[in-house]
Amino acid sequence: MTLSRSLSRLLSAFALASAFAAPHGAFAQTRGGTLNLIVQPEPPLLVSAIQSLAPTQYVAGKIYQGLVRISPTLQPLPELARSWKVSNDGRTYTFDLERDVRWHDGKPFTAADVVFSVDTALPALSSRVRLVKEQHIESVRAIGEHQVEIRLKAPFPAFPLILEVGTLPILPRHIYEGTDYRTNPANQTPIGTGPFVFKEWKKGSFIRLARNNDYWRKGQPYLDGIVFHVIPDSASRAVAFEKGDVQVLRSGDVDNVDIKRLRALPGVSFTTKGSEKFGSVLFLQPNLRNAPLDNVKVRQAIQHALDRRFIIDNIFFGFGKPTTGPFASTTLFHDASVLPAYEYSLDKARQLIRESGVDVSKRPLNLLGAAYGGAWVRLVEYVKQQLEEVGFRVNVVQVDPAGWYKRASDWDFDLALNFHYQHGDPELGVAPLYLASNITKGTPFGNIEGYSNPAADALWAEGGRSIDPAKRQQAYSAVQRIIANDVAVANLFEIENPTLYRSQVKNLVTTGIGLNESFDAVSIEAP
Domains in the chain, start-ordered, CATH in brackets?
281-495 (3.10.105.10)
In 343-446, alpha helices (H):
346-356, 374-389, 401-409, 426-429, 431-434
Tell me if 287 sits within 8 A of 453, measured CB to CB: no
The C-alpha atoms of residue 82 and residue 104 are separated, in whole angstroms, by 20
Q: 245: buried, middle or exposed (CB in 10 Å: 19+, 13-18, 0-12)? A: middle
What does R_g of the chain's alpha carbons equal in angstroms? 23
Which residues contact residue 374 at a Cβ distance below 8 angstroms, ignoring those fewer than 6 apart? Answer: 234, 255
The torsion region of residue 514 among left (phi > 0), alpha (psi -120 to 50) and beta comes to: left
The C-alpha atoms of residue 159 and residue 86 are separated, in whole angstroms, by 11
* Strand runs labelled E in 292-408: 320-322, 365-368, 394-397
Q: Per residue of the chain (527 residues), what is the pLDDT tens digit?
A: 334 333 444 444 443 343 334 444 445 678 999 999 999 999 999 999 998 888 999 999 999 999 999 998 888 999 999 999 999 988 999 999 999 999 999 999 999 999 999 999 999 999 879 988 998 999 999 999 999 999 999 988 889 999 999 999 999 999 999 999 999 999 999 999 999 999 999 999 999 999 999 999 999 999 999 999 999 899 999 999 999 999 999 988 998 889 989 999 999 999 999 988 988 999 999 999 999 999 999 999 999 999 999 999 999 988 999 999 999 988 889 999 999 999 999 999 999 999 999 999 999 999 999 877 788 999 999 999 999 999 999 999 999 888 998 999 999 999 999 998 888 899 888 998 999 999 989 888 789 999 999 999 999 999 988 888 899 999 999 999 999 999 999 999 999 889 999 999 999 999 999 999 999 999 999 87
Q: How many whole angstroms from its chain centre is CA 351? A: 37
For residue 275, which of 420, 130, 115, 124 has the smallest C-alpha distance?
Answer: 420
Apex CA 118: angle with CA 62 and CA 57, to 5°?
A: 25
The C-alpha atoms of residue 394 and residue 386 are separated, in whole angstroms, by 10
At residue 502, the 3 state secondary structure works out as: strand
Secondary structure element (H or E) that encloses residue 483, with its range: helix 469-486
Tell me if 214 sits within 8 A of 195, measured CB to CB: no
The C-alpha torsion from 55 through 42 and 524 to 220, rounded to 10°, is -60
Other C-beta atoms lying within 10 Å of the C-beta of residue 271: 14
Amino acid present at 477: S
* Strand runs labelled E in 44-159: 68-70, 76-78, 81-86, 92-97, 137-142, 147-152
Which residues contact residue 357 at a Cβ distance below 8 angstroms, ignoring those fewer than 6 apart? Answer: none
Distances (CA, A) of 492 to 324, 328, 495: 6, 11, 10
Secondary structure element (H or E) that encloses residue 227, with its range: strand 225-229
At residue 198, the 3 state secondary structure works out as: strand
The predicted model scores a pTM of 0.75
For residue 17, which of 95, 88, 70 has the smallest C-alpha distance?
Answer: 70
For residue 62, which of 162, 167, 209, 186 has the smallest C-alpha distance?
Answer: 209
